[in-house]
Amino acid sequence: MIIDVSKMKSIETFKIEGTEDWLSKIYAEFKTPKDAQKPLLQALVSVDARDPACVTVRGTVDYTPFVDCSRCGLAISWAISESIETRFLRDISELSDELELDETSIEDFTLTNGKTFDLEELINDAVQLALPTRLIRVGANDECLVCDEKLSDPIQNSADSENALNPFKALKNLKLDS
């Protein structure tokens, strides 16, 4: 959703209900199990365009997507509640001279053509950065709450088996000149 701030003179608030078409890019990243209802992203974002030098975007994003457990691969419902606070510069000409930057160097922090920014990108970044790199629901007894496996048990991985090909095994057969 492209927000045009060129005519904004005050604070405008955007309420995202989760049914907007432009959210399909975010929803495509998270697959919903067949037996579950598709979770909807909700957000409340305010855009403050009163400052002549920058536009400030603040808000909250709430979403509970299904993600794969890092241990067993089964779907986990993972709650995300993130705050957003970002400033977009209206004009980087003075800044670029001082820091030797062009518009592409700091595109994430500047308005496109000095007028617009993509709210979908901002919300997607908030969702993706809120997810930890290792997704496991851990219970009180150190077990995965999805598959009930003890986290202290080693993960079974086919690459760990004795019969797996080891690409470094070939190095033993190399004849090196001494």
Cα separation of 48 and 10, whole Å? 6
Mean pLDDT of the chain: 78
pLDDT of residue 61: 95
Cα separation of 40 and 129, whole Å? 18
pLDDT of residue 60: 96
Average pLDDT over residues 125-143: 79
Q: 81-121: per-residue pLDDT in tens?
A: 999 998 888 765 655 455 555 555 444 467 777 788 889 98
Cα separation of 158 and 148, whole Å? 21
Question: Taking the domains of the chain in order of start, what are their residue ranges?
Answer: 2-173
Residues 6+ apart with CB under 8 A from 140: none
DSSP class of residue 96 equals H
Tell the burial category of 124 from Cβ atoms under 10 Å away from its Cβ (0-12, 13-18, 19+): middle
pLDDT of residue 43: 95
Q: Dihedrals φ, ψ of 157, to 5°?
A: -130, 130
Tracing tokens 């492209």 back to the chain, one arrives at: 2
Q: 3-31: per-residue pLDDT in tens?
A: 888 888 889 999 999 999 999 989 988 88
